Chains A and B, each alone.
Chain A
Amino acid sequence: MGAMNDSLPLLAGARRHCRGTALGLTLHVVLLVCVLGQLVYLATRHRARVDATSDQLYSLTDSTRTLVGGLQKRLVIEAYLSPNADLPAQLRDTRAVLENFLDELVQLGNGKVVVQRFNPNDDKAVLDKCTRIGVKPIDAQNSSTTAVGVSRHWQGLRLVYGGGRQKVIEQVAPTVSFLAEAIVTPAIKEVVTETRRKLGFMEWPSAPGGQEAQGTGWEYVRTLPDVSKRYEFQNLKDAEGALIPAEIETLLLFRPTDVSDRQKYVIDQFLMRGGTVVLFADVADYGLNPNRQCLKVPMGFDAKDSQWKWQDQLLHYGLEQTNQIVADLQPQASQAQNPLTGGFEYLGVPVQMGLVRQVPYPYFFHALDVDWAQISDRLASASGRLDEEQAAYFKRTLRPGIDTDEFVFKAFKQFKRTPGFYWPCVLHLRSNGAEPTLPDGVIGRTLLWSSPLTIVEEPPQSLNALLGRDLQSQLAANQAFVQKLQQRIQSEPRRQVPLMLDLRGTFPSFFRGKDRPQKVSEQKEEQDRKKAEAEAQPDAGGAVAQEPDVGPPKPPEKTAGEAKTSVVAEPTPIAVASAPGRIVAFADSDFLRDDFARGAYRQLGGPHSLFGAAFFPMLLDWLSQDSDLVALQSRLPADRRITLVDDLGDGSQDRLAAEKKLRTTQSFLVTMNVVSPCLLVLILGFAVLFVRRSQKRRFLSSVEN
Chain B
Amino acid sequence: MREISVIFRRELKSYFLSPIAYVFGVLFLGVLLYLATQRQIVDGQQASMQAFFGLLPVVFLFFLPGLTMRLWAEERRSGTIELLMTFPVRIGHLISGKFFAALAFLAVLLLFTIGLPVTLATYGSLDWAPVLGAYVASLLLAGAYLAVGMFWSSLTRDQIVALLLSLVSLLLLYAFGFPVVAEWIAGFLPTWAVDLLGGISPYKYFESIARGVFDTRDIVYYLCFCGFFLHANALVLNNRRLKG
Interface check B179, CB cutoff 8 A: yes
Residue in B30, B183, B225 whose beta carbon sits within 8 Å of that of A678 in the complex:
B30
Interface check B96, CB cutoff 8 A: no
Residues of chain A within 8 A (CB-CB) of B21 are: 685
Q: Compute how far the CA of A51 lies from the CA of B208 in the bound complex, rounded to whole angstroms.
A: 10
Number of interface residues of A (CB under 8 A): 56
| B-contacting 9-mer, from A37-45, A258-266, A517-525, A652-660 | A37-45
Residue of B nearest to A679 (CB): B26
| A-contacting 9-mer, from B77-85, B113-121, B154-162 | B113-121
Residues of chain B within 8 A (CB-CB) of A39 are: 220, 224
Residues of chain A within 8 A (CB-CB) of B129 are: 52-54
A680 vs chain B, min Cβ distance (A): 6
Report yes or no: B228 in contact with A36, Cβ–Cβ below 8 A: yes
Report yes or no: A673 in contact with B37, Cβ–Cβ below 8 A: yes
Given contacts A44-B217, A642-B41, A642-B45, A58 and B211 within 8 Å (CB-CB): yes
Q: Compute how far the CA of A85 lies from the CA of B22 in the bound complex, rounded to whole angstroms.
A: 47
Residue in B25, B113, B115 whose beta carbon sits within 8 Å of that of A672 in the complex:
B115
Residues of chain B within 8 A (CB-CB) of A84 are: 191
Report yes or no: A51 in contact with B216, Cβ–Cβ below 8 A: no
Report yes or no: A639 in contact with B125, Cβ–Cβ below 8 A: yes
Report yes or no: B221 in contact with A681, Cβ–Cβ below 8 A: no
Number of interface residues of B (CB under 8 A): 64
Residues of chain A within 8 A (CB-CB) of B220 are: 39-40, 43
Interface check A684, CB cutoff 8 A: yes
Interface check A640, CB cutoff 8 A: yes
Residue of B nearest to A33 (CB): B228
Interface check B186, CB cutoff 8 A: yes
Residue in A54, A88, A670 whose beta carbon sits within 8 Å of that of B41 in the complex:
A670
Report yes or no: A52 in contact with B183, Cβ–Cβ below 8 A: no
Interface check A392, CB cutoff 8 A: no
Report yes or no: A29 in contact with B232, Cβ–Cβ below 8 A: yes
Residue of A nearest to B196 (CB): A37
Interface check B214, CB cutoff 8 A: yes
B51 vs chain A, min Cβ distance (A): 12
Report yes or no: A677 in contact with B41, Cβ–Cβ below 8 A: no
Residue in A58, A90, A644 whose beta carbon sits within 8 Å of that of B212 in the complex:
A58
Residue of B nearest to A45 (CB): B217
Given contacts A674-B34, A674-B37, A680-B112, A640 and B124 within 8 Å (CB-CB): yes
Q: Compute how far the CA of A39 lies from the CA of B219 in the bound complex, rounded to whole angstroms.
A: 11
Interface residues in A395-450 (C-beta closer than 8 Å to B):
none
Interface check B227, CB cutoff 8 A: yes
Report yes or no: A677 in contact with B179, Cβ–Cβ below 8 A: no
Given contacts A50-B214, A53-B213, A89 and B180 within 8 Å (CB-CB): yes
Interface check B182, CB cutoff 8 A: yes
Hey, which bits of chain B sit against chain A, CB under 8 A? Answer: 16-17, 19, 21-22, 25-26, 29-30, 33-34, 37-38, 41-42, 45-48, 109, 112-113, 115-116, 119-120, 123-127, 129-130, 132-133, 178-180, 182-183, 186-187, 191, 194, 199, 211-217, 219-221, 224-225, 227-228, 231-232, 235, 239, 242
Hey, which bits of chain A sit against chain B, CB under 8 A? Answer: 21, 25, 28-29, 32-33, 36-37, 39-40, 43-44, 46-55, 57-58, 84-85, 88-90, 92-93, 144, 638-644, 666, 669-670, 672-674, 676-678, 680-682, 684-685, 688-689, 692
**What are 15 inter-chain pairs, A to B, with CB distance below 8 A?**
A48-B215, A50-B213, A58-B211, A89-B179, A90-B179, A642-B46, A643-B124, A669-B37, A670-B41, A673-B33, A673-B115, A674-B30, A677-B112, A677-B115, A678-B30
